A and B are shown apart, each in its own frame.
Chain A
Amino acid sequence: MMSDNLLEVDNLGVTFNTPEGKVYAVSGVSLGVSKGEALGIVGESGSGKSVTMKSIMGLLPRTAEITGSAVFDGLDVFDLPKGRRKHFYGVDIAMVFQNPMTSLNPVKRIDAQLTEGMRYHDGLSHSAAKEHALELLDLVRIPDPVKRLRQYPHELSGGMRQRVVIAMALANEPALLIADEPTTALDVTVQRDILDLLDDLRRELDMALILITHDLGVVRDRTDTIAVMYGGRLMETAPTAAVFADTAHPYTQALQRSIPDMSTPRGTQLDPIPGSPPDLAFAPTACPFAPRCTYATDECASAIPPFKSTPSSADHSYACFHPCGSAAEPAASV
């Protein structure tokens, strides 16, 4: 597929071989991020959102079988030339994880952890690296960085730790930052600060950002594009505004309806999605959402719906036989 995307994932599949048999964690996922763009991947646990990104980061265990392709800036991610891996992970792409405490080494001071990457990748001297570390702490808006550099992770609050982890990820100015639920372990009040920070840094450094979350609210105002995943498959991808204004996939719609927001009057009965998320132990042969979908028909349980664009926008595509919104209208009316 020709495109000017920085990262282009095409028809990605990931299966795990477990003692209980195969687990089909990700199937047929195609995504793209261009330079400086922010992509939000939304899904609940088991939807395959983290596995998709970990496959690109080379973080999956050996039991994982990866099919499909991922191309980053002309490089085949799954077949990196020898010696290129070091540069690729850390300089080209960096990742931030959910729990900042487990991302940091508890017995090393912040300065040692922060400078490790730059000394390794850029061969900076001890003092030059330290200088750069101070700049980075400043960049992620940590007050009193000189003092913080000499502290251990347990001396920092959760929000501060996540800032340090972000600073580490940015040390070599990656072209793409992947943030996997960066605020889920943090308080709501801190969540907003961290999301604002990521937003600002992306603009300042002209960096592409992939924000993985289970919360539609988190990506709503902060991304250019949203991809919704469920049961290891992509359900819908669209420019952020269109996901909310003209939802095409019933799962996206059900997700929005089932969550109360601040404008929901109190005592309102919610509109829950019946059932529970799918078991991934079976090779996908149908729409994974079909058993819980109000619009499902026999067709949905017997075939995988192909990806289609909505009549209103070529960038807005969905995988459903019975879409909602403008996608539901017959083509003639457009």
Chain B
Amino acid sequence: MVGIGNAMLREGEALIHVEDLVVEFPGPRGAVLHAVSDVSFDVRAGETLGIVGESGCGKSTTAKAVIQMPRPTSGQVLYRDSDLTKLDKDALRATRTDLQMIFQDPISALNPRRSIWDIIREGVEIWGTHGEWGDARILELIESVGIDPQYKDRKPFQFSGGQCQRISIARALALDPHVLICDEPVSALDVSVQAQILNLLDDLKKQHDLTMLFISHDLAVVRNVSDRVMVMYLGRVAEVGDADSIFDNPAHPYTQALLAAVPGSDIAADASLSGELPSPLDPPAGCRFNTRCPHASDICRTTVPEFEQFGPDHWVACHHPQATPVELD
């Protein structure tokens, strides 16, 4: 999208299946803010989907709409074949224990007045011991995220940013979720600590069999953790597919511009963006990227491009894709 169509939805079992997701917010003077428009994607069990794009592209809103926070304006979010958008409040609350989230700023994500033991145990206290989750296992969990359990009665301010992010991760895992949504989990951390958290997430993913949505603006980090990547621009998806295929053979001019912007990138500078991000209150007609795209033509200004297959698992919504498609059988 920056297009439409659901050609990129895959056959077969998907754990999360999102179709035609639309999130709109009321803007000033009756205007409508188009935060997310017609976004479709699927995530299989055990997969990590990286979502990338500039601020304001709708990546966080998309992930939050999956857990109905807030409920999307329209569209379908299937989780294990139940449509989360149609669940009533109680059923949704119960389902959300299975989909947990960690946030960018670990310090503001934790209640400063409570001990980390209370913070991590709260979910279990509300939902009862889910499976085997007694106190002993929570201590084990604290240890498994790299915090010494003897500090369990300390409060968040007594820990560093990296340690607070570990505590957030422990809290998210206390209810044994299947899905972990990570919204910029390392952006607020010191560079020397980021790798610790990325490795921890990777280990825990294997240990707990997690499926992840990983939101980041740091392409190198996304490349490192993701199986598949979805590139978003101004509320729509530009390109989605296998991470290596997208990073090695980017076809959408916007993906190319993003990659060119990475410091030390060898992609030519003329692929970099000109102009300003248009307002989501009044997104451009046709392809939403047309105002900044070096290859835009008349059709881009009138018709929203549909998804086309570009490789075995590589889908692009562009009228003028900039790479050679991989031969498909």
Contacts and interface: CB of A to CB of B under 8 A. Distances in A.
Q: Name the residue in A195, A277, A292 with the highest tally of chain B Cβ atoms < 10 Å from its Cβ.
A: A277
A260 B223 contact: yes
A272 B220 contact: no
B264 A261 contact: yes
Contacts, number: 116
B199 A266 contact: no
Contact of A266 (B190, B224, B265, B269): B224
Nearest to A251: B192
A44 B192 contact: yes
B323 interface: no
A191 B218 CA distance: 12
Contacts of B190: 44-46, 214, 276-277
B295 to A, nearest CB: 16
A260 B195 CA distance: 8
B55 to A, nearest CB: 6
Interface stretch (B10-18, B137-145, B253-261): B253-261
A214 B273 CA distance: 24
Contacts of B265: 262
A273 interface: yes
Contact of A193 (B244, B262, B272): B272
Given A215-B263, A262-B247, A266-B224, A187 B199 contact: no
Interface in B175-223: 190-196, 198-199, 202, 217-221, 223
Contacts of B192: 44, 254-255, 258, 272-273, 277, 292
Contact of B195 (A45, A196, A217, A272): A272
A273 B224 contact: no
Given A261-B264, A262-B262, A266-B244, A160 B276 contact: yes
A187 B162 CA distance: 23
Given A255-B191, A260-B221, A270 B199 contact: yes
Contact of A214 (B191, B224, B262): B191
Nearest to A264: B224
Nearest to B188: A45
Overall SS of chain A's interface: loop
Given A271-B195, A272-B195, A272-B199, A187 B224 contact: no
Interface string A199-220: 0000000000000001101101
A214 B189 CA distance: 11
Interface residues of B, number: 42
A214 B194 CA distance: 12
A267 interface: yes
A192 B261 contact: yes
Interface centre among A45, A266, A273, A277 (most CB of B within 10 A): A266
A127 interface: no
A274 B199 CA distance: 12
B225 interface: yes
Nearest to B292: A189
B224 A267 contact: yes
A221 B257 contact: no
A264 B55 CA distance: 25
B315 to A, nearest CB: 19
B224 A188 contact: no
Contacts of B273: 189
A266 B225 contact: yes
A191 to B, nearest CB: 7
Interface in B224-275: 224-227, 243-244, 247, 257-265, 269, 272-273
A259 B277 contact: no
A102 interface: no
A266 B217 contact: no
Contacts of B258: 188-189
B160 interface: yes
The CB with the most chain B CB atoms within 10 A, among A193, A217, A271, A272, is that of A272
The 5 A-B residue pairs whose C-beta atoms are closest, nearest first, are: A217-B263, A272-B195, A258-B195, A270-B195, A260-B224
Interface of A: 44-46, 157, 159-160, 187-189, 191-193, 195-196, 214-215, 217-218, 220-221, 254-255, 258-262, 264, 266-274, 276-277, 292
